[in-house]
Amino acid sequence: MTDSFTLEPMDVALPRGAFAGGGRDVLRHKSKPVCAFTRATFRPGLHPVWTPKGHVVTAEQPADHPHHRGIWVASDHVALMIDGPDGTERYDYNFYVDTVFQGRAPGRIEQASLHLATQSDTRALIEQRLEWIGPVEWGASDGRAVLSERRWTVVSVLDDAFVLDITSDVTPADNHFMVLGPTRHAWFNARVADAIALDPASAPIDDRGTRGAAAIGPRGLAWVDYSGSVGGGDTAGITMIPDSHDANAWFVSDWGVMTVGRIRDAGLKFSPGDEVRFCCRYVAHDGDHPPDHALAGLSFLTPNTMTQGTMP
């Protein structure tokens, strides 16, 4: 039986003496592209992300915020708590911006492995192992190991949407104590395609029908959608649906970015060996609104769901 999904590196034919700085592995369903797992300089992301009609709904490294990576995971407040001679010393890093940000030097999120773990006719589970490494600094010539992450992406193919359920499990590296946040620049992010963001008729909208970034509140939302024109008379967009309405806080703009996470108001403290799970659904859809069955009728799929014997 032929597999429905394939995950293969994008072939970049380069002349002698030329080198690629990153790379992409493209996930396809029956030869149709779904999304690309892209390894960029400072952190990986999903870009391009397509809809079933073939429209790209993400943007990568836009001019105003070149650290935006399509669909990505990041945090600009990450702190190691290290025992020093006079008590605990705090090492603060930034894993969101590609340069020094508010005094915090940029770390990098490196992909250690990527593979297509299991699949059915319309669903696939992709696993990544990632290491969060601090910047080169005095006493750490290769950067300090900060976090270890296992990230799973469950892809479900619908007629009018690709649904991406992303689970991010993180644990401190090297038995450190650490703190994530507080910050609004974390955890799950999306940057919509320029065609959508620049469409004068487009604006983000939440589950209550509130339209426009200024009116959308930061808390208590089930989902936020950003849709607009993608050419040829078609519309498409991205919906973000976190696993918890109450625990998460949003940052939404009218120029194309959506962020949701649960470390906005208070830092999340880790002891050695702790593991914390973050989950969010992304819906890359055709049309000017997300399909109802992707919002409510389809259960969130975690790696546990996908590996307990049978594919749903």
Phi, psi of 218 (to 5 degrees): -80, -10
Residue 280: give the domain boundaries: 23-307
The per-type count for the chain, helices as H runs and strands as E runs, is: 3, 19
Q: Which two tokens stand for residue 216?
A: 């959308």
pLDDT computed for residue 310 by the predictor? 46
What CATH number is attached to the domain comprising 218? Answer: 2.70.98
The DSSP bridge partners found for residue 104 are 101
Let me know if residue 13 belongs to a domain. Answer: no
Q: Residues 186, 78: contact at Cβ < 8 Å? A: no
Number of domains in the chain: 1
Let me know if residue 10 belongs to a domain. Answer: no
Q: What DSSP letter does each residue of 41-86 carry, written as one string?
A: SS-EEEEEEB-TTS-B-B-BS-SS-TT-BSEEEEEEEEEEEEEETT
Let me know if residue 103 belongs to a domain. Answer: yes
Let me know if residue 292 belongs to a domain. Answer: yes
Let me know if residue 5 belongs to a domain. Answer: no
pLDDT computed for residue 20 by the predictor? 77
Q: What is the pTM of this model?
A: 0.95
Q: Residues 150, 129: contact at Cβ < 8 Å? A: yes
Let me know if residue 265 belongs to a domain. Answer: yes
Let me know if residue 51 belongs to a domain. Answer: yes
Phi, psi of 197 (to 5 degrees): -65, -30
Q: What does the pLDDT profile of the chain (312 residues) look like in tens digits?
A: 568 999 999 877 778 877 777 889 999 999 999 999 999 889 999 999 999 999 999 999 999 999 999 999 999 999 999 988 999 999 999 999 999 999 999 999 999 999 999 999 999 999 999 999 999 999 999 999 999 999 999 999 999 999 999 999 999 998 889 999 999 999 999 999 999 999 888 999 999 999 999 999 999 999 999 999 999 999 999 999 998 877 899 999 999 999 999 999 999 999 999 999 999 999 999 999 988 888 876 788 888 877 654 455
